[in-house]
Each structure stands twice: as structure tokens, then as C-alpha cells.
Structure 1
Amino acid sequence: MKIEDLLSEQFIVLQLELTTKSQVIEEMLSIVAEHPGVKDHDKLRQDVLKREKEMSTGIGKQIALPHAKTDAVSSPVLALATLKNEINFESIDNEPVQLIFLLATPEEMLAEHLKLLSRITRLAGQEEIRERLVHAESTKDVMELFEEEEKDFPQI
């Protein structure tokens, strides 16, 4: 399972104008509201917010990765957004965030969940890729970037 297999243009939003962490999480949840893998949007929201309360998902290097293992989804759900302006996300490196991924996987997919978190972190953690994502002009550009960068990665 590759990022490009899970992500589609309809779940990518570029240059959002938001100012708070809570706005970002709510917007990410609204982006996936009509995702075919989402069975229970309210439960998904609860589980993502519960995980966020445990520890910020601001993982550093301008990236936030709100996520949940939840029975609110029937298959992996992935969304991506870039922010027009950096915001405080209480990141582990105390740096503001400009790139957001939302990942939700069924509870029984723990191994895949961890592998996807790792893959997202590894790819987006590379400065050149992060810069290309933050400055992408179209959702098509984002998808092409993942196709290009993942061509040599093994399937999960």
C-alpha cells in the first residue's frame, strides 16, 4: 500500500487559510467526510481528537499527522492539506506547521497503520519533498510527486 494508492485528488486541499490547530483538524475531518471508507464521521472525529489529546501529532519539520486507528473507517483514509500560513500545532520541535496529513485506518490494520505513518514521515520529512508539497500549485502536482517518489518503494 503506497501513499499514491490511498490518496486521491479529491482529498487534497492546497493553501488553506486557517489559523488554529483545532480549525485544521476540523477541516481535515470535513475533507474526508464523503470518503467511501468513512463509516461514522462523528466517531472518526472523536478518535482523532482523543489521539491528539494524548500527544500532539505535530511531528516536526513543519508536518502534522493527525491520525487514528478506529472502527469508524472500513478501509484506510488519507487526506493532505497545505496551509497558506504556518500555524502553531504544538509540534515536538516547537516549529510551526504548514503541511497536514490525516490518516485513519481500521483498528485491525495496526501493522499497516504504523507502516503508513512511517512512510508519510519518511517522505514528507525530506526537505525537498516537503518544499514541493507546500508550494504545489495543483492537486495533480501532488499526486505526480507521490507517484515519482514512491516508484522505488516496496509495497506495504
Structure 2
Amino acid sequence: MKIESLLSESFIALNLDLASKSQVIDAMLDLVATHPSVCDKEKLRQDVLKREREMSTGIGKAIALPHAKTSAVKHPVLALATLHKEINFDSIDNEPVRIIFLLATPEEMLAEHLKLLGRITRLAGRMDFREQLLLLKTPAAVLDLFREEEKDFPQI
């Protein structure tokens, strides 16, 4: 399972003008609300917020990765957003974020969940990738970037 195979243009939002961590998480949850694999929007919201309360998902290098293993989805769900301005996300490196991934996987897919988290952090952790991503203007261009970057990655 590659990131580009989970993402679609409908679940990519670019250059959002948001001012707080809670606004970002709400926007990401709203973005995936119509995803065909989401079977319980409120449960998904509760599980993502519960995970965020346990520890910030601001993973450093301008990236936030709110996520949950949850019964609210039937299959993995992934969304991506970039922000117009940096915001505080209580990141582990104390730096603001501009790139947000939301990942939700069924509870029984722990191995896949961890592999997807690892793949996202490995790819988005590269400065050149983040710089390219922040310059893109369309969801189609984002998908093309992931397709190109993942062409040599093995399937999960």
C-alpha cells in the first residue's frame, strides 16, 4: 500500500488559511467526512482527538500527523493539507507546522498503520520533498509528486 494509492484529489487541501491546531484537526476531519471508508464520523473525531490528547502528533520538521486506529473506518483513510502560514502544533521539536497528514486505519490493521506512519514520516521528513510539496498548486500535482517519489518503494 503506497501513500499515493490511498490519497485522492478529493482528500487533499492546499494552502489552507487556519490559525490553530484545533482548526487544523477539524478541517482535516471535515475533509475526510465524505470518504467512502469512513463509517462513523463522530467516532473518528473522538478517536483522533483522544490520540492527540495523549501526545501531540506534531512530529517535527513542519509536519503534523494526526492519526488513529479506529472502528470508525472500514479501510485506511488518508488526507493531506498544507497551510498558508505556519501554526503551533505543540510539535516535538517545538517548531510550527505547515504540512498535515490525517491517517485513520481499522483497529485490526496495526502493522499496516505503523508501516504507513513510517512511510509518511520517512518521505515527508526529507527537506527537498517538503519544499516541493509546499510549492504545489493542485491536488493532481501532489499525487504526481507522491507517485514519483514512491516509484521505487516496495508495497506495504
Shift of 1:61: 0.1
Give the structure 2 partner of residue 45 of structure 1. Answer: 45
SS of residue matched to 1:155: coil
Matched residues in 1 for 2:140 and 2:18: separation?
22
Number of residues paired by the alignment? Answer: 156
Give the structure 1 partner of residue 91 of structure 2. Answer: 91
Unmatched runs of 5 consecutive residues or more in structure 2? none
Give the structure 2 partner of residue 149 of structure 1. Answer: 149
Task: State the identity as a percent.
Answer: 72
TM-score (normalised: structure 2):
0.99
Question: Structure 2 matches for 1:6-155, cutoff 5 A?
Answer: 6-155=6-155
Matched residues in 2 for 1:87 and 1:140: separation?
25
TM-score (normalised: structure 1):
0.99
Unmatched runs of 5 consecutive residues or more in structure 1? none
Alpha-carbon RMSD across the aligned residues, in angstroms, is 0.3
SS of residue matched to 2:121: helix
Cα deviation digits, residues 31-90 of structure 1 (max 9, x gap)? 000000100000000000000000000000000000000000000000000000000000
Matched residues in 1 for 2:92 and 2:74: separation?
30
Shift of 1:134: 1.3
Cα deviation digits, residues 119-142 of structure 1 (max 9, x gap)? 000000000001111111111110
Matched residues in 2 for 1:51 and 1:91: separation?
14
